[in-house]
Structure 1
């Protein structure tokens, strides 16, 4: 078994991937640096902005810690509102989505375990949000990034409020 060094990401050193709505991903650590133990990013969203459309992960659990603001989460077929200090853990296979609540910007820490190399996925999401790349280009990459997109009427209804 290979032992990995501790990972330290000093304040301000994470790669910033800007999103068209004014939010951003801060890419903290990818799976390769942790021996695939986990991957982590920090996501800021402007008021009412979507963070991710409905999807599931076949391999990883995903942990969300709301640092500031209020978020809406799709968890299976139910909508949950979570404010600052809330922790959400989504198991593998559960369809989920998330976005900032209307009237509230949000800041959250996202951790996936085990980790999958996903920094390229977040970079592509940034380009997609800015109209530099088509979302359809991600569809053949669902297995590579362990992001399997799904339809959800609960999400569509919940976010239409």
Structure 2
């Protein structure tokens, strides 16, 4: 390590860079979709969490909800993602970036016939990967226990706009 003096500070320089090549990171399979944990809350000291999501065709990522303590950013890497922002629907094509500040109702889904790949960033991280692990566990239990599902949502700062429609459903079998 190297120490440099800059004005009134003694900066300790160190290399704690973390590199994830394509395909690297812990991958979770949740129903027909995949979540790859890239930069977790632990790695970033809770500054943010970054996750790659692959949504299968017709998959609801999340119904309309909001966060009290974190912002969420969607970056569409492949395909077209349908994002609901309050009462408006947005078709977010490849390359689109959508920043959703806390207290903004939002939801997202893949209404297309092809996979959608996106990057999700939560700021601060709020241990969001804990939400994904919990979701994976809850969704393997059939039927899904609505109380456990909603408890998980609340624990990880996802507040449903309408609790009655929060349970996961395949988009093609449900109406919005």
Name the CA distance, whole Å, in 2 between partners of 1:136 and 1:28.
29
Question: Of residues 151, 160, 171 in structure 2, which corresponds to 1:149?
Answer: 160
Question: Of residues 95, 100, 103 in structure 2, which corresponds to 1:90?
Answer: 100
1:160 matched to which residue of 2?
175
Of the two, which has the highest radius of gyration? 2
Query: Which one has a larger percent helix, Structure 1 or Structure 2?
Result: 1
1:105 Cα deviation (Å)? 1.7
**Change in 2 beyond 3 A, CA 1:131/1:4:** farther
Is structure 2 residue 30 aligned with structure 1 residue 19? Answer: yes
Structure 1 alignment gaps of length 5 or more: none
TM alignment of 1:11-90, pairs within 5 A: 11-20=22-31, 22-90=32-100
Between Structure 1 and Structure 2, how many residues are aligned? Answer: 155
TM-score, normalised by the number of residues in structure 2? 0.77
1:134 matched to which residue of 2?
145
1:71 Cα deviation (Å)? 0.9
Name the CA distance, whole Å, in 1 between partners of 2:97 and 2:16.
27
TM-score, normalised by the number of residues in structure 1? 0.83
Question: CA RMSD for the aligned pairs?
Answer: 2.7
Structure 2 alignment gaps of length 5 or more: 1-13
